[in-house]
Structure 1
Amino acid sequence: MPLIRRLLIANRGEIAVRIARTAHTMGIDTVAVYADPDVDSPHVSAADQAVRLPGDAAADTYLRGELLVEAARTTGADAIHPGYGFLSENADFARQVEAAGLVFVGPAPHTIAAMGDKLAAKELLGAAGVPVLPGGMVREDAKAEALVARIGFPLLVKAAFGGGGRGMRAVREQADLARAVAAARREAGAAFGDDTVFLERLVERPRHVEVQIFGDTHGNVLALFERDCSVQRRHQKLIEESPSPAVDRALRERLCAAAVAAGRAIGYVGAGTVEFVLDPSGAFHLLEVNTRLQVEHPVTELTTGLDLVRLQLLVAQGHALPDAPVAVGHAIEARLYAEDPVRGYAPSVGTLHRFDIPEADGIRVDAGVVTGSRVGPHYDALLAKVIAYAPTRDEACRKLAHTLARARLHGVRTNRDLLVGILRSPEFAAGDADTGFLDRHSAADLCAADPAVSAIHAAAAALAGQAERRAAARVLTGIPSGWRNVRSADQQVTYAHDTDGRTTVTYRLPDHLAIDGKPLPGLVVHAAHADRVDLGADGVRRTIAVHRVGDTVYLDSPLGASELIELPRLPEPAEAEAEPAGSLLAAMPGTVVRVAVAEGEHVVAGQLVLAVEAMKMEHEVTAPHEGVVTHLPVGPGEPVDAGAVLAVVTAPVEAAG
C-alpha cells in the first residue's frame, strides 16, 4: 500500500489552494509549482515548498509533464495531484508519473485514455447499457461532412481530449460547420495540446446533469448523487447546484445506476464525473466521462459531508471507500470570472485592489486570488468559486445572491452582477433554467442596476472626496470644504463612469448637493468619511463604502457597485484622436489566431473580422458597422497588447470621401 508523505500539486489557482488545504489536514506536506506570472500567487504560499517551472510561454509551462515530474523528484514528493484542467486528463502524463515511481492521484492511465477517446468511450459505455447520443471523431476535416450526414443537424463540435467546455461549438447548418470545426481545433489545441474534435447530436433545450462517481482499488464504485450545471455560457458552466431541481427520486436512481454502470464498465478508480444531457421529456443521454475532480465538486461536498480531495488521497493509498452517504440540504455554486458580461464578456486583466467576499454561516469561498493579486491574460478567467449551503434550494439561492451582492471586487471587472441577476431571476428561482438560459436573457438585463445607484454613488464619491481633503488639511480643519465668506460658485466634481457617460456633482455644504444640476431629493448627510458615507435620500438612509485608488473611486452599497473615475478640474487641452475612426482595438493582451477578412473587403455589421486567443479562450472580433476594411495590421500568430489596433473598418461614406 503506497504511503503519501509529500504531494506535488501540478496545477495553479484556487484548486491548488484547495488541494493543499486538505493535504495539510491529513499531515501531508505539499509542493507547489509556478510559472513566472504566478510568482506571487496564493497557491505558492499555500504550499510548504514551491518550484519554479521555466519556460517562455507561460500558459504552456504547466503542460510540460517532464518539468512537473522533475520538480517532484527534486523535492522528494511521493505523489502528484493534477487538479483539473491542464494535464488532469492526459494519459501520457499519468504514465510519466507512474514510470517515475510516483503515485498519480487519479484514475489509471488506461482509464484516462479509454475515456479520452470519446467515440470509443461511448461505444464501450453504450454496450454497458448507458444511453448515448450518435456522434463521431473528426481527425481529418475532409471527413466531417460524411459524419454529419449520419448524425444530422443540429450538432455539437467538441474537443475530443479534454473538458470544461473548451472548443465546444453548436452548429445548426452546413454553412457554419467548417468554421466551427476550425475554431474548435484551435481552442482545443491551446487548452489540451491535442486539436482532435468530436461531433455529436445536439439536444435542444436540454439540462446538463452530471453524477459524481468514486471508485476504489477494491472494486467499489459509488454514485454521490447528481449536480445540475445547466446555466452555461459557450458551454462553460456558471452556476452549479445539488440536487438538481429537475430530478425526482426515480430519475435520480436511474441516473446514479447508469453512472455506476459506467464506472464499473471501465474499472474506475478515484474521483470522476459521468455527464448527461437531460431532455425535456426526462430522457437522458451520456455526454462524457470526466476522469478528474470537477470545478463544481464543492456542492457535492456540502450536501454529502464528504471531502472529495481527502477521498482521492485515501483511495490513491489503497484505502476502501466509506459506505454510501446520504445527501442532505441544497448547495449552489457560482463561478466568479474576470470578465465583463455587458461588453460581450470581454476578459478583464489588472490588479485586484480589493477582493473581499463576506464570511457567513453556510458560505464557502474557494479562491485563487487575494487583494493585490495580478490577473493576467495567460490563464482562464476564473477568480473564485462562491458556494452557499442551506436546508432548502430557495434559501441557498438567496444566501448566495446576498453574499455576492455584498462582495467588494475592485480593480478588475467581474461577472458578479450577472451571477446575482441569474440567481434572482424568476426562471432560475423556479428551477426551470436549461442550457439556453443565457440565450434567452441578455447580460444587460440581468446586470441592470437599481435606478438610484448612479446619483447616490456619485454623491457619496463627492462627499468622501471632500472629507478626505478636509482630513488632510493643516489649517482651518473645522470648516466645510469649499467654504467662502461670500457664497459664489458651488464646488464641482465630474466623474466618468462605466456606461461611457459623465456625471457632475455640485455641492455647497452643509445644505446643498445636486447631480447634473438636479438637487438630490431629501438629502441628509449623517456622516461623511474618506472610506464611508452615511446619507439619506428620498426618505431612505444608506451607508456607502468608498475606496479610492488614484483617480478611480469604487463604491459599494445595498444598491450595488459602481466604478467612477474622477476627471481633472482643469484638464489638459484635448489631444488629436489617437486612432482612426472605425478602429477595432484589442481588449487585452492575446494572440491573433485567425483573420477572416482582407484589406479592401466589404463587411457588414456583426461579420467576423478576426479572432484573438486570451485567457485560454478564443474571442471573436466583429465589425461594429457596415463598411470597408481599410487597415489590417495584424496576422495569425501575432501577439497583441491591450489597446492595439487590430483592424480599421471605415463606414461607406467615410471610405468614399
Structure 2
Amino acid sequence: MAATGFIRAAEWRRRALWGLQGPKWIWTPRATKFTSATGQSTIEKILIANRGEIACRVMRTARKLGVKSVAVYSDADRNAMHVAMADEAHAIGPAPSQQSYLAMEKIMQVAKKSAAQAIHPGYGFLSENTEFAELCSREGIIFIGPPSSAIRDMGIKSTSKAIMSAAGVPVVEGYHGEDQSDGCLKEHARRIGYPVMIKAVRGGGGKGMRIAFSEKEFQEQLESARREAKKSFNDDAVLIEKFVDNPRHVEVQVFGDQHGNAVYLFERDCSVQRRHQKIIEEAPGPGIELEVRRKLGEAAVKAAKAVNYFGAGTVEFIMDSEHNFYFMEMNTRLQVEHPVTEMITGTDLVEWQLRVAAGEKLPLTQEEISLKGHAFEARIYAEDPNNNFMPGAGPLLHVSVPPADNCTRIETGVRQGDEVSIHYDPMIAKLVVWGEDRQAALRKLRYCLQQYNIVGLSTNVDFLLSLSGHPEFEAGNVHTNFIPQHYDELFPPKKAIPKEALCQAAFGLLLREKMATQAFRMQSGDKFSPFASSSGRRINIPYVRNLILRDGENDVNLSIIYNHDGSYHMQIQDQSFHVCGGLSSEGNSDYIRCSVNGNVHKSKLVIVEDAIYLFTLEGSEQIGLPVPKYLSGVSAAGDQGGAVAPMTGTIEKVFVKAGDKVHAGDPLMVMIAMKMEHTIRASKAGIIKKVHFQEGSQANRHAPLVELVDEDSESK
C-alpha cells in the first residue's frame, strides 16, 4: 500500500495481548495524514537533529509510519549508522558539536533544503534549547517537542522549582535565586546544611552537578560545577539544594497534547548511577505501592499542566526511604530510558510524539493506559569501571549482541568496525528487556548481558553483570549511593586468571593454527610440506611445545603435549590438564567447546592483535600474547614523575606553573573529554618542573601533561 503522509496509523482501538512472548498490540490500520495544529501542514518528512542510537530509534518509527527521514552528520560521523539508515543525509560541519549538532542555523538550512516539515531533536544537543524551538516556529517548521515557554520554564531549575512550589508539587529545600556571588551561595549552603548539591540551573545528564560535603570543599566544587555548566549549556548559573542521603531517583513519564489533555505512563527507577549519570533503569519502580504510584503520576501531570505542556516529558523526583517524594526537575524531551516505559505499556512514544506534534489528541486516556510486567534498561558504555568509569574512545573491533525478540531490544547507533568518538557521549548501546515480573526481567537481563561481547575498548558489561547479580539489587534495595555503598563487592581485588581459562585460550590458539595449516594444505596441494602439518611435529614446533600467555603483567608458561587422538596435555606450574574438544564458527564469532579434565566449557574466542578475549557465561577474560622484544617499542612517555592524559581531550584549565610546590591530590589541570570534565591531580608531593600544555590545547591519550620532581632533587 502506498504511503500518503503518516499512513497505516493506529485507530487506537487496542487490546493488549500479554503472554510469554511479552507485550503485543493489535490495531486496525487505516490510511491517514498527520497534520499540524492549524490543520494546514502535512508531515511527510522529518529531520532528526541528532546522531547515534536516538537518531536510529526515531528513524525506525518514521519508517514504520511511512515518513521519510533526513539525517545530519558531522565530519566524524560521515560513515555512521544513522547516516546509512536515513532516506537522505547532509553534512553540517566539523566533529565538535558546537560546530555541527549544536549549530542551529546549519540544521535549519538542511531542513529547508530537504523540505522537511518537522524536526525531531532526540535528546541532548538542541532538544531542550528554547532558542531552537523558537527558530523552528519562526521558520514554519514543526518542532517535535513541547512549546518553547515550557522548555524555558522547566529548563531553568530555579524557575521550575518556583512554579512547582506554587502548583502544590513538593520540592526539596534549597536556594534558587539570582544572586550568584560566591558569598551568597556559600551562605545559603551553610543555612541549608551540609551536604549540599550544587547544580547548574540549565543542567541535565549530571553535567554541572557537584556535591559539597563540607564548607571546606564548597568553593572547589562550585567552581568545577560552573566550568562544566558553562561548557555544556553556555550558562554557569547554579542552584543549591539539600542533598538527600541515599535517595532514590524516581521519574514519571508524562505526555500532553495540544488540546489540554495530559496523562502519565507510570514511573521508572533510575537510582543506580555513577558520576550522577544513570547506568541502569527499570520500570516500574521496585517496591512502590499502588497508592504511591498514583500520587507520583498525579503530581507529574500537575507539574506538566502548570506549564501548559504538550509532547513527551519526564518529571524527576527524589524519593526518601519512607517513599516521600520531592520534585527535582523536568526534562522537556524524550528520555534515554524511554524504552522501559514502552515495554511495560505496549506503546511507541516516538509515534505519540509525532502525532501530538501534528496536532492530534493523545492516543489513549489515563484509564486506557495499563501496566504489565517489568522492564530493565542497561546502558553499555565505552568506559573502564575499574578506573573510576573513565570513558574511552576508539574502534569497535568486534561486536556481537544477543538476538532481538519481543522481550529484548538492542538500541544502538554503532556497528562492528565503527569508532566511538572522543567528541560525543561514550554510550555504545542500550540493552532493554521485558519479563512478566521483576525477577523474570532480571534473569533475562543477565542472560543477555552474557551474550553482549565487545572487543576494542574497555566496556562496563562485566560490571553490569556484577551489579545486576548483587543480592541487594536483586532485592530491589536501590538508591543513588548504591555503587559507593557496595563498592567492595562490586569491585573485588583482581584475581589471577583461572588456569582452566588459560587452557581454553591455548586450546583455541591451537585449533586456529590447525585450521590455518589445513587451509594451506588445501591451497598448496603439497601434503608433504612441513607447513601443512598440525600434529606438533612441524619445523620449529616439537612434540612437546612451550607456549607463553600473559595474565596482566605476568607471564604464564604452558607446556603442551600433542596426543595422537587430537587431544592435548597441558602443564601450568604444578598442575596438569587434559584438554580436548572442537571449534565452530557462527557469524563473526568462533566458539570453543572443550573438556578440561572432564569439565566441559563453552566459550567465545576473539583474537585481536596481541590479546585473546574469552567470553563465558561467568564473564570475560583478556589474556595477553607477549610481543617479541624485537617488535616491542620503548615507551615514549616513560616515567614522567607527574601526570599523563587519561584520554584524548582538551585542556580546559591549568592550575599550576613551573616552580610551584604541590601536595598529593592537588588539582593540576582540568580536561574536557567525552563531554565530561576530568580533574587531573598530583599523585604525590613535589615541585612542578614543566607544564606541557596550555589552556585550550588538545592532548592525546597517555601524553605527559606535567613533569613533577621531588622537592629534594629540585634543590640539588
TM-score (norm: length of structure 1): 0.94
Q: Which stretch shifts more, 299-308 or 615-624?
A: 615-624
Aligned residue in 2 for 1:455: 502
Aligned residue in 2 for 1:287: 328
Aligned residue in 2 for 1:537: 596
Aligned residue in 2 for 1:507: 560
Residues 456 and 129 from structure 1, CA distance in 2 versus in 1: closer, same or farther, beyond 3 angstroms?
A: farther
Tell me the SS of whatever aligns to 1:386.
Answer: strand
68, 88, 91: which one aligns with 1:29 = 68
Counterpart of 1:366, as a letter, is E
Write the mapping of 1:116-265 to structure 2, written as runs, cut at 5 A.
116-135=155-174, 136-137=176-177, 139-265=180-306
Do the aligned residues in 2 keep the contact of 1:593 with 1:612 (CA within 8 Å)? yes
570, 584, 608: which one aligns with 1:549 = 608
Q: Which stretch shifts more, 541-550 or 371-380?
A: 541-550
Tell me the SS of whatever aligns to 1:84.
Answer: coil
Residue ranges of structure 2 left out of the alignment (5+ in a row): 1-34, 37-41, 522-528
Counterpart of 1:72, as a letter, is A
Tell me the SS of whatever aligns to 1:536.
Answer: strand
Residue 390 of structure 1, CA deviation: 0.2
> Could you tell me how far apart the structure 2 residues matched to 1:637 and 1:44 are?
31
Do the aligned residues in 2 keep the contact of 1:505 with 1:513 (CA within 8 Å)? no
Tell me the SS of whatever aligns to 1:618.
Answer: strand
Residue ranges of structure 1 left out of the alignment (5+ in a row): none
Residue 572 of structure 1, CA deviation: 4.8
322, 340, 343: which one aligns with 2:384 = 340
Residue 140 of structure 1, CA deviation: 4.1
> Could you tell me how far apart the structure 2 residues matched to 1:485 and 1:565 are?
25
Q: Which stretch shifts more, 523-532 or 343-352?
A: 523-532
Write the mapping of 1:470-485 to structure 2, written as runs, cut at 5 A.
470-474=517-521, 475-476=529-530, 479-483=533-537
Aligned residue in 2 for 1:51: 90
> Could you tell me how far apart the structure 1 residues matched to 2:185 and 2:484 are?
27
Counterpart of 2:320, as a letter, is D
368, 387, 390: which one aligns with 2:413 = 368
Q: Could you give the per-residue CA deviations for residues 578-605 of structure 1, whole angstroms, max 9, x where no partner exists?
A: 4234242212210112233443444444
Residue 443 of structure 1, CA deviation: 7.6
Do the aligned residues in 1 keep the contact of 2:642 with 2:682 (CA within 8 Å)? no
> Could you tell me how far apart the structure 2 residues matched to 1:654 and 1:333 are?
53
547, 552, 555: which one aligns with 1:493 = 547
Q: Could you give the per-residue CA deviations for residues 36-60 of structure 1, whole angstroms, max 9, x where no partner exists?
A: 0011110111110111012463454
Counterpart of 1:277, as a letter, is I
Matched, 1:109 2:148: yes
Aligned residue in 1 for 2:28: none
Residue 534 of structure 1, CA deviation: 2.3
> Could you tell me how far apart the structure 2 residues matched to 1:651 and 1:442 are?
33
Do the aligned residues in 1 keep the contact of 2:569 with 2:579 (CA within 8 Å)? no
Tell me the SS of whatever aligns to 1:160.
Answer: strand
Do the aligned residues in 1 keep the contact of 2:637 with 2:703 (CA within 8 Å)? no
Residue 339 of structure 1, CA deviation: 0.3
> Could you tell me how far apart the structure 1 residues matched to 2:387 and 2:310 are?
43
> Could you tell me how far apart the structure 2 residues matched to 1:487 and 1:339 are?
40
Residues 491 and 194 from structure 1, CA distance in 2 versus in 1: closer, same or farther, beyond 3 angstroms?
A: farther
Counterpart of 2:378, as a letter, is A
Query: Matched residue pairs, number?
Result: 655
Tell me the SS of whatever aligns to 1:280.
Answer: coil
Q: Could you give the per-residue CA deviations for residues 394-418 of structure 1, whole angstroms, max 9, x where no partner exists?
A: 1111111111122121111111111
Aligned residue in 2 for 1:566: 625
> Could you tell me how far apart the structure 2 residues matched to 1:9 and 1:573 are?
46
Matched, 1:323 2:365: yes
TM-score (norm: length of structure 2): 0.86
> Could you tell me how far apart the structure 1 residues matched to 2:713 and 2:547 are?
37
510, 513, 516: which one aligns with 1:466 = 513
> Could you tell me how far apart the structure 2 residues matched to 1:297 and 1:243 are?
12
Q: Which stretch shifts more, 332-341 or 405-414?
A: 405-414
Residues 408 and 56 from structure 1, CA distance in 2 versus in 1: closer, same or farther, beyond 3 angstroms?
A: closer
Aligned residue in 2 for 1:527: 582
Residue 546 of structure 1, CA deviation: 1.8
Residue 217 of structure 1, CA deviation: 0.8
> Could you tell me how far apart the structure 1 residues matched to 2:79 and 2:671 are?
27
453, 457, 466: which one aligns with 1:408 = 453
> Could you tell me how far apart the structure 1 residues matched to 2:535 and 2:669 are?
52
Matched, 1:382 2:412: no
136, 146, 149: which one aligns with 1:97 = 136
Residues 654 and 491 from structure 1, CA distance in 2 versus in 1: closer, same or farther, beyond 3 angstroms?
A: farther
Residue 81 of structure 1, CA deviation: 0.6
Write the mapping of 1:568-607 to structure 2, written as runs, cut at 5 A.
568-569=627-628, 571-572=630-631, 575=634, 578-607=637-666
> Could you tell me how far apart the structure 1 residues matched to 2:228 and 2:541 are?
64
Do the aligned residues in 1 keep the contact of 2:376 with 2:434 (CA within 8 Å)? yes
Q: Which stretch shifts more, 631-640 or 376-385?
A: 631-640
Q: Could you give the per-residue CA deviations for residues 112-146 of structure 1, whole angstroms, max 9, x where no partner exists?
A: 00111211211111111100012225644453223
Do the aligned residues in 2 keep the contact of 1:166 with 1:188 (CA within 8 Å)? yes
> Could you tell me how far apart the structure 2 residues matched to 1:487 and 1:86 are?
58
Matched, 1:85 2:144: no
Tell me the SS of whatever aligns to 1:161.
Answer: strand
Query: What is the aligned-residue identity percentage?
Result: 37
Residue 471 of structure 1, CA deviation: 3.5
Aligned residue in 1 for 2:573: 517
Aligned residue in 2 for 1:614: 673
Work out which of the two has the higher radius of gyration on C-alpha atoms and give 1 or 2: 2
Residues 182 and 449 from structure 1, CA distance in 2 versus in 1: closer, same or farther, beyond 3 angstroms?
A: same
Aligned residue in 2 for 1:642: 701
Tell me the SS of whatever aligns to 2:480.
Answer: coil
Counterpart of 2:153, as a letter, is A
Residue 260 of structure 1, CA deviation: 1.0
Tell me the SS of whatever aligns to 2:558.
Answer: strand
Residue 366 of structure 1, CA deviation: 0.3
> Could you tell me how far apart the structure 2 residues matched to 1:466 and 1:655 are?
55
Aligned residue in 1 for 2:393: 349
Do the aligned residues in 2 keep the contact of 1:467 with 1:528 (CA within 8 Å)? no
Do the aligned residues in 1 keep the contact of 2:504 with 2:594 (CA within 8 Å)? no
Matched, 1:298 2:339: yes
Counterpart of 1:526, as a letter, is G
Residues 88 and 516 from structure 1, CA distance in 2 versus in 1: closer, same or farther, beyond 3 angstroms?
A: same
Residues 439 and 573 from structure 1, CA distance in 2 versus in 1: closer, same or farther, beyond 3 angstroms?
A: closer
Q: Which stretch shifts more, 222-231 or 249-258?
A: 249-258
Counterpart of 1:592, as a letter, is I
Counterpart of 2:313, as a letter, is G
Do the aligned residues in 1 keep the contact of 2:190 with 2:215 (CA within 8 Å)? no
Do the aligned residues in 1 keep the contact of 2:518 with 2:532 (CA within 8 Å)? no
Counterpart of 2:419, as a letter, is R
Residue 576 of structure 1, CA deviation: 7.4
Do the aligned residues in 1 keep the contact of 2:530 with 2:538 (CA within 8 Å)? no
Do the aligned residues in 1 keep the contact of 2:61 with 2:351 (CA within 8 Å)? yes
Do the aligned residues in 1 keep the contact of 2:645 with 2:702 (CA within 8 Å)? yes
> Could you tell me how far apart the structure 2 residues matched to 1:568 and 1:196 are?
52
> Could you tell me how far apart the structure 2 residues matched to 1:243 and 1:61 are?
37
Residue 185 of structure 1, CA deviation: 1.9
Residues 508 and 87 from structure 1, CA distance in 2 versus in 1: closer, same or farther, beyond 3 angstroms?
A: same
Cα RMSD for the two superposed structures: 2.5
Counterpart of 1:527, as a letter, is G
Residues 582 and 467 from structure 1, CA distance in 2 versus in 1: closer, same or farther, beyond 3 angstroms?
A: farther
Tell me the SS of whatever aligns to 2:203.
Answer: coil
Tell me the SS of whatever aligns to 2:113.
Answer: helix
Tell me the SS of whatever aligns to 2:125.
Answer: coil
> Could you tell me how far apart the structure 2 residues matched to 1:319 and 1:450 are?
61
Residue 283 of structure 1, CA deviation: 1.0
